[in-house]
A and B are shown apart, each in its own frame.
Chain A
Amino acid sequence: MKEKRLKKRSTLLRTVALPALVAVSLVACGGDDSANDTTTDATTEMSAPIEITGAWARTSPMMATMGAAYMMIMSMDDDRLVAAAVDSSIADHAEVHEVVMADGSDMSMDHSGMDMGSDSSMDMGSETTMAMSSGEMVMREVEGIDIVGGEMLMMKPGGYHVMLIDLVAPLEIGQTFDVTLTFEKTGDVIVPVEVREDAP
């Protein structure tokens, strides 16, 4: 079960995990109206469970002092990611960062435009592609990321990531380390992160 990948520090774990399991099984089975009535109420009353999947970090090139970890965050309820931490044996510290266009615009917009999905060459005659190719991207720390209940938050290359600052040693394939994410409502969630060459 994916829930096993989550280790939660607080004693809330049991109270969170139980309705989470029920909720997940309902989702997986497509739901049952008669059962939904009571279970949904129970879930609403409890703390919002957070499910984090696909956590990975890219192998770091030699001499690289910075690394990045990516993951998918799904919360049953609204929450806010406010901090990230990593053990000092991995990096000095961690921060939540976002890659944006240098002019402040949302990169994800341009990114979707880049995903050509076509086997034809791009024509550089249009203004859109001209703007796209000349844009600068910059990485910035963010104070927090709002998690919308029921919506998957993707932390992925070119968007949000947990930045690992001052790596102690290169991140190598097969290695696993923990990143602690702090959520405003849920508290700390420890996420095992697998080091890979590319996204899972």
Chain B
Amino acid sequence: MRLLVVEDERDLAQTLRRALEEEQFAVDLAEDGEEGLFKMRELPYDAVVLDLMLPRMDGWTVLQTARGDGIRTPVLVLTARDMIEERVRGLNLGADDYLTKPFALAELIARVRAMIRRAYGNPAATLQLGDLTIDTAARQVCRGGAPIELTAREFAILELLTRSRGTVVARARICEHIYNEDTDVLSNVVDVHVAALRRKLGSDLIRTRRGEGYIIDA
């Protein structure tokens, strides 16, 4: 899952990134509103954490402009002003959720996950794929009650393909999804992860569409 955190407080942004990366998110940072909007336009993030008080362009404008451009990425608004009008305004402008500073990290992570699940059209935290049970909250995969060890990247790819079941997901999209902007990715890295997944889960689960990408059949 790839996230964008738009927060001008450098310390807070770094803390958020570290905490979210521990939860296997790929996290990009933006320090001001303009940069945030630019990145939202560039990449299909799974979710955006958006502070409202930002230099250069405030969070309202970022949200409004992004929604005006048809960007439907789920947005969680972070506000330091606990006023009902602010929340209502944020939600009206197209925010999917909000949190008031200070917040509990665990709650932020849970809300981001819930937002992403809703965006993929399935609000349940647990996905069923044949005899596989994918618990996206605990980040565990079980077959018939027996856990299967997956790396963070492998899990992220499996989750993305499962949530996008029935549609082909391009290699580039998978790359964007599991790595943040600071990582240089080798061209065949996705193929390596998929090969590992096939070894662990069975070779017929993920199918290759030559020249297009990978798909898990519906």
A in complex with B: no
